[in-house]
Amino acid sequence: MMDGKTILVTGGTGSFGKRFTRRVLERYQPKKLIIFSRDEYKQFKMAQEFPQEKYPCMRYFIGDVRDRDRLDLAFQGVDYVIHAAALKHVPICEYNPFEAIKTNVIGAENVIRAAIRNQVERVVALSTDKAASPVNLYGATKLCSDKLFLAAGAFSRQRRPRFCVVRYGNVMGSRGSVVPLFLKLKGTGCLPVTDRRMTRFSITLDQGVEFVLQCLQIMQGSEIFVPKLPSYRITDVVEAIAPGARIQEIGIRPGEKLHELMIPIDEARNTREFKTFYVIKPSWNGREEYQGDKGLPCPDDFQYSSGTNTEWLTVEQIRDLTSEVEAD
């Protein structure tokens, strides 16, 4: 479905954007693949990795999702939009709340309006587990963003664009995650852990990209997709990276959760289970013809948390996953 299409990725110079770009170029022949981001140096570096001489479909577009006019210009002739731009660092968002709201909430509205005005076909917005029952500002802004994208279908004519949200947790080994820090400190024999009880869902960058590509294809509009993932314990990550290392428990940080929550109990009644993912279908009547009811309805008391998951990674599996991650 990508062949001959024009695809735009907001925040395209980030970890996800670069891996998404590589996968699309390997598998498809898009008409254009537009990288939309505000950092000229990152675009310069990415253009060296994916030069237009080798990949004629590549375009690099400087812009900010806060700038509605610039988005309007960038979205002209675009078929698919992957919205990955966001301010994501929890403590930084706590300290700079106005900036987080401008990018994550107002920026989402700008993307929606530009997509509707330019009659984009499909828009996939990347979300986070922190948007489920949020306890920090980042999660709260992403919850607002998710609500905007889910409701946007009510404003689009003739079902164009279709909007959906993809929700998953921290990507193992990504920038800002704990794995590069542990790799840097493993020679000290002591690793800092906020709380020994902490668990997380495990997803790699490649798995995240594959899931987004899958959702782009099967989306019907105004739903949230959640992948089925194994969990891991933070203490097992320590053992995998630095066997026998001493753990220094430093206390949970403001806005941090003990366990990742992807589907809270209040969304269970609208959730359907499929073989490899869950779908939280629209809870409003804007799309009465929604066809996502083929999955198995989840019980009313269901919630999808890393702490109560049924599938867990072993220390050896974690070691394999972290073996190619670079230290900070």
- In order along its 328 residues, the chain shows pLDDT tens digits of 899 999 999 999 999 999 999 999 999 999 999 999 999 999 999 999 999 999 999 999 999 999 999 999 999 999 999 999 999 988 899 999 999 999 999 999 999 999 999 999 999 999 999 999 999 999 999 999 999 999 998 776 566 799 999 999 888 877 667 888 899 998 899 999 999 999 999 999 999 999 999 999 999 989 999 999 999 999 999 999 999 999 999 998 877 889 999 999 999 999 999 999 999 988 765 555 555 567 899 999 999 999 999 999 999 999 999 887 765 5
Assigned domain for 244 exists: no
Residue 298 in any domain: the answer is yes
| pLDDT reported for residue 292 | 58
78 domain-assigned? yes
Asked if residue 118 lies in contact with residue 281, where contact means CB atoms within 8 angstroms, the answer is no
Is 133 inside a domain boundary? yes
Contact residues for 17 (Cβ-Cβ < 8 A; gap 6+): 9, 11, 35, 37, 82, 84
Asked, for residue 143, whether it belongs to a domain, the answer is: yes
Q: Is 245 inside a domain boundary? A: no
Q: Is residue 132 part of a domain?
A: yes
CB neighbourhood size of 142 (10 A): 30
Query: DSSP letter at 327?
Result: P
- pTM reported for the whole predicted model: 0.93
Q: How many helices (H) and strands (E) does the chain have?
A: 11, 16
pLDDT at res. 5: 97
Query: Rounded to an integer, what distance in angstroms lies between the CA atom of residue 207 and that of residue 230?
Result: 12
C-alpha to C-alpha distance for 182 and 291, rounded to whole angstroms: 45
pLDDT confidence of residue 291: 57
In the chain, the DSSP E strands lie at 6-10, 32-37, 58-62, 80-83, 122-126, 162-166, 190-193, 199-201, 224-227, 231-233, 246-249, 261-263, 271-273, 277-280, 296-297, 304-305
Cα→Cα distances 177→12, 25, 152, 235, Å: 19, 27, 32, 15
Tokens encoding 189 = 């024999």
> Residues with Cβ < 8 Å from 4, sequence gap 6 or more?
29, 30, 31
Mean per-residue pLDDT over the chain, rounded: 92
- Residues labelled as active-site residues: 130
End-to-end CA distance of the chain: 37
23: domain CATH number? 3.40.50.720
d(CA 312, CA 63): 41
User: Is residue 292 within 8 Å of residue 279, measured between CB atoms?
Assistant: yes
What per-residue confidence (pLDDT) applies to 327?
A: 59
Q: Minimal CA–CA distance to 198: which of 228, 166, 167, 170?
A: 170
Domain that holds residue 139: 6-171+202-228+264-302
Considering the domain boundaries, does residue 138 fall inside one? yes
Q: Residue 155: what pLDDT?
A: 74
pLDDT at residue 261 in the model? 95
How many structural domains are present in the chain? 1
